[in-house]
């Protein structure tokens, strides 16, 4: 009887435990990260007989769980990338914040000025729209700066969260190890540990190594830097960019040594934000700065070639941005800081929307990398030596005094100068940002409409006695600062006359008519007399600071005079030239608005692709979650069936005990009788 009773008691206890586990599953059906548990039963061998509870196991598929972590990291990355890209896309394309719409308004006002160049009210409207355009550039630059600052703030907070979660994984590794060693239940601890790893995957994306679910889970980030090893956790933090403070660096501190990992983090929320910052935000920021510099410098260049209502040569319409570039030294340089490093824009048509890194490969050699596309510039093959006599240097040339730590190099439309305290050393690095601050620093330089230089400084007149068919086709100022316009205020020095003196072949003389009664040969560049020059209809005649084009057939004695445009308040020639800049190919063969449209299109394309990628990654994540839940999730129908099964087994065991007791009583009574 004792054997039957023991079997019944064992069965009762085992099925009670099975009911408890089933109840635990049902209770945690909505618990995030919970893994369904199951009882593992085994029969006892002869002669003891009965049933025993071998283990309470977690119903888990490690492959499905790891795939869930990987897909969680990808989905988090694409989701936050999409959100940031959509925000920037809306900012650039919205008419209330767009540069293009503000530029349309500015050039529209300028066209009204062309129609009535003497109107003070029209001139003030031009300045008002110019100021609005400047504010639009500045506001958009500020928005990009704010978005970058927000990303930095979010990465800082998320890095702290990674440190906290990593410490929790290390602590749970230790607790699981202790529980396994003591043969105590550890299922809930393992669930907590896997859920924390999932949360880490959302934030940063981790590589996982483990020796089974009873062993430690070791985590790595970046290019294999340890985040958690056993019960030891590293800390994750951020540092200001080196040398660009706008590019926050993500660091992992292992055994007191900080290692930068940001460049190798591509998944999780941090990876998504870093990828967006480097591939979308920073390029857009640089493009905005390049557009501001190109716009201001080309407008200034043309405005300087005109005459205002006071009869004075034009001044800068916008602040000069040619020297607003930034040069920063890396903190690890042996050379130390440079003395007055500078950037000078030399040709806006060649500017690229990029930062540049200068790295010294030896004390007398350096390599320049264009960060936007990785293009490398090597001394000798890509950049030739220049004597340094020309200021600025010619394109793709350099000058260097390596022993004294001085270099100048001209590439991509700008010249950078480094003046080292000592000789440059191998490994010294410098960051050059020629265009980044353009949008922020753009400002209107004049506030009085009378100072708008709408007129040409040159009045061209054909003599009334001319008998040929040659006419003045165009007069173009080629150098606003030339002595022709600066020697005497309100006058040309000297006034010029072109006189034709032959028919076949047609030739002409250029005369200096400072003394109208005694003209003398005109000297080009102060040295070359332009006498007996061959004439071809439509060819440009180059003079000091300006050029002239005549078309038609002249006759001997025909005269054309060029003098200062005194009282030319109704002249709109320079206003027309300013207005024409709206469609001129100023950079990379494109106009201002073409460049901006390309920026909007580029960001819009990235945003569209990001939406597709995010949707696809979410679908993959849902599938991974379904696969994991199909194995490890709680199914209420299945658990309800288990309740009935274990309840019936429990009742049968109780009945077995009752039967054992009845048999025992019967035998006892029989023995007494």
Q: How confident is the model over 290-348, as pLDDT tens digits?
A: 999 999 999 999 999 999 999 999 999 999 999 999 999 888 887 655 667 899 999 99
User: What pLDDT band is residue 178 in, cutting at 50, 70 and 90?
Assistant: very high
Sole residue written with tokens 């730590």: 405
Delimit the domains of the chain by residue range. 2-59+633-672, 458-564
CA gap 122, 119 in Å, rounded? 5
d(CA 658, CA 336): 92
22: burial class by Cβ within 10 Å (0-12, 13-18, 19+)?
Answer: buried
Mean pLDDT of 632-650: 87
The one-character DSSP state at 208 is E
Backbone angles phi and psi of 125, in degrees to 5: -65, -40
State the average pLDDT over residues 375-387.
92
Residue with tokens 């529980």: 179
List the structure tokens of 408: 């100048």
Strands ordered across the beta sheet of 414-419: 342-345, 414-419, 406-411, 397-401, 384-385
Q: Within a 10 A sphere around the Cβ of 651, how many other Cβ atoms?
A: 12
> How far apart are alpha carbons 428 and 361 in whole angstroms?
8
C-alpha distances (whole Å) from 38 to each of 15, 191, 373 are: 12, 14, 56
Q: List CB contacts of 354: < 8 A, sequence separation 6 or more.
A: 283, 286, 370, 371, 372, 373, 412, 435
Residue 2 has pLDDT above 60, yes or no: no
Q: Which has the higher per-residue pLDDT, 452 or 47?
A: 452
The confidence band for 387, taking pLDDT boundaries of 50, 70 and 90, is: confident
pLDDT exceeds 70 at position 389: no
DSSP-based three-state secondary structure for 525 = coil
CA dihedral (9, 12, 17, 22) in degrees, to 10, reads 170
User: What are the pLDDT digits (tens) for 496-525?
Assistant: 999 999 878 999 999 999 999 999 999 999
What is the distance between the alpha carbons of residues 101 and 624, in angstroms, rounded to a whole number?
Answer: 46
In 3-state terms the chain splits into helix, strand, coil percentages (rounded to 5) of 45, 25, 35
Distance, in Å, from the CA atom of 309 to the CA atom of 349, rounded to the nearest integer, reads 31
Q: How far is CA 39 from the centre of its chain?
A: 54
Separation CA 366–CA 378 (nearest Å): 7
Please say if the pLDDT value at position 51 is more than 90: no
Tally of CB atoms within 10 A around 269:
22
Q: Cα–Cα distance between 645 and 648 in angstroms, integer?
A: 5
pLDDT at 17 (0 to 100): 84
Instruction: Assign 128 a pLDDT band (cuts: 50, 70, 90).
Output: very high
Burial class (CB in 10 A: 0-12, 13-18, 19+), 26: middle
Query: 284-293, 308-317, 439-448, 627-636: which has the minimum mean pLDDT?
Result: 627-636
Q: What letters, b where the CB count within 10 A reaches 16 and e where it falls short, cover 151-189? A: bbebbeebbebbbebbbbbbbbbebbbebbeeeeebbbb
Q: What is the pLDDT of residue 41?
A: 83
> What is the C-alpha separation between 446 and 433, in angstroms, rounded?
27
pLDDT tier for residue 119 given thresholds of 50, 70 and 90 = very high
Average pLDDT over residues 469-495: 93
Quick one: pLDDT at residue 643?
87
pLDDT in tens, 262-272: 889 999 999 99
pLDDT of residue 86: 97
Instruction: Name the pLDDT band for 6 (thresholds 50, 70, 90).
Output: confident
* Chain centre to alpha carbon of residue 364: 33
Q: What is the largest CA-CA distance in the chain?
A: 165
Minimum mean pLDDT among 70-74, 186-190, 547-551: which range?
A: 186-190
C-alpha to C-alpha distance for 215 and 259, rounded to whole angstroms: 27
Half-sphere exposure of 23 (CA within 13 A, CB side): 8
Q: Indicate the SS3 state at residue 384.
A: strand
pLDDT value, residue 673: 56
Q: How far is CA 127 from the centre of its chain?
A: 32
Give Cβ neighbours of residue 575 (< 8 Å, ≥ 6 apart): 110, 113, 114, 117, 306, 452, 454, 455
Spatial distance between the Cα atoms of 197 and 202, rounded to a whole number of angstroms: 9
pLDDT-wise least confident of 120-134, 391-405, 444-458:
391-405
Q: Coil, strand, or helix at residue 448?
A: coil
Contact between 228 and 166 (Cβ < 8 Å): yes
Instruction: Give the mean model confidence (pLDDT) for residues 560-568.
Output: 93
The pair phi, psi for residue 132, each rounded to 5°, is -65, -40
């Amino acid at each position: 009887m004792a054997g039957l009773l023991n079997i019944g008691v064992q069965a009762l206890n085992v099925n009670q435990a099975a009911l408890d586990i089933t109840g635990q599953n049902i209770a945690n059906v909505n618990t995030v990260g919970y893994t369904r548990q199951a009882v593992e039963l085994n029969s006892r061998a002869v002669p003891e007989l009965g049933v025993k509870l071998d283990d309470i196991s977690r119903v888990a598929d490690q492959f499905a769980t790891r795939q869930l972590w990987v897909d969680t990291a990808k989905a988090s990355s694409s989701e936050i990338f999409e959100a940031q890209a959509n925000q920037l896309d809306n900012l650039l394309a919205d008419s209330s914040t767009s540069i293009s719409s503000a530029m349309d308004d500015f050039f529209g006002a300028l066209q009204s000025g062309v129609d009535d160049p003497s109107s003070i009210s029209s001139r003030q409207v031009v300045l008002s729209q110019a100021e609005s355009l400047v504010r639009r550039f500045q506001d958009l630059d500020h928005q990009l700066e704010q978005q970058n600052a927000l990303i930095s703030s979010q990465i800082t907070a998320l890095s702290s969260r990674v440190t906290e979660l990593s410490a929790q994984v290390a602590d749970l590794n230790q607790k699981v190890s202790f529980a396994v060693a003591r043969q105590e239940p550890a299922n809930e601890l393992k669930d907590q540990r896997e859920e924390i790893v999932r949360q880490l995957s959302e934030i940063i994306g981790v590589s996982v190594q483990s020796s089974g679910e009873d062993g430690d889970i070791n985590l790595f980030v970046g290019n294999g830097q340890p985040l958690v090893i056993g019960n030891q956790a590293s800390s994750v933090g951020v540092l200001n960019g080196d040398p660009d403070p706008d590019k926050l660096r993500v660091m992992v501190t292992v055994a007191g040594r900080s290692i930068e990992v940001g460049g190798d983090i591509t998944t999780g929320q941090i990876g998504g934000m870093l990828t967006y910052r480097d591939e979308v935000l920073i390029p857009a920021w640089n493009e905005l700065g390049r557009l501001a510099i190109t716009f201001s410098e080309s407008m200034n260049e043309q405005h300087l070639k005109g005459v205002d209502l006071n009869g004075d040569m034009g001044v800068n319409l916008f602040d000069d941005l040619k020297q607003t570039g930034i040069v920063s030294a890396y903190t690890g340089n042996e050379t130390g800081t440079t003395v007055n490093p500078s950037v000078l824009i030399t040709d806006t048509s060649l500017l690229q929307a990029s930062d540049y890194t200068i790295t010294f490969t030896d004390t007398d050699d350096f390599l320049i990398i264009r960060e936007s596309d990785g293009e490398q510039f090597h001394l000798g093959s890509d950049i030739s030596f220049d004597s340094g006599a020309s200021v600025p240097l010619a394109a793709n040339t350099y000058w260097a005094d390596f022993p004294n730590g001085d270099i100048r190099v001209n590439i991509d439309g700008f010249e950078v100068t480094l003046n080292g305290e000592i000789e440059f050393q191998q490994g010294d690095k410098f960051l050059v940002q020629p265009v980044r601050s353009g949008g922020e620093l753009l400002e209107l330089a004049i506030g009085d409409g009378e100072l708008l230089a709408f007129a040409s400084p040159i009045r061209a007149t054909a003599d009334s006695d001319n008998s040929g068919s040659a006419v003045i086709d165009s007069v173009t100022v080629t150098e606003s600062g030339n002595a022709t316009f600066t020697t005497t205020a309100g006058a040309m020095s000297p006034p010029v006359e072109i006189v034709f003196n032959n028919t076949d072949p047609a030739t002409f003389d250029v005369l200096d008519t400072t003394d109208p009664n005694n003209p003398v040969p005109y000297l080009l560049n102060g040295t070359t007399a332009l006498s007996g020059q061959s004439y071809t209809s439509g060819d440009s005649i180059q003079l000091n600071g300006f050029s002239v084009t005549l078309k038609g057939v002249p006759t001997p004695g025909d005269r054309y005079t060029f003098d200062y445009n005194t009282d030319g308040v109704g002249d709109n020639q320079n206003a027309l030239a300013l207005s024409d800049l709206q469609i001129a190919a100023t950079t990379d063969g494109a106009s201002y608005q073409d460049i901006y449209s390309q920026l909007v299109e580029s960001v819009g394309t990235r945003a569209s692709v990001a939406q597709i990628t995010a949707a696809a990654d979410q679908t993959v994540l849902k599938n991974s979650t379904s696969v994991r839940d199909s194995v490890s999730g709680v199914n209420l129908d299945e658990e309800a069936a288990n309740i009935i099964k274990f309840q019936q087994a429990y009742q049968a065991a109780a009945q077995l005990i009752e039967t054992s007791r009845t048999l025992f009583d019967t035998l006892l009574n029989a023995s007494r009788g």
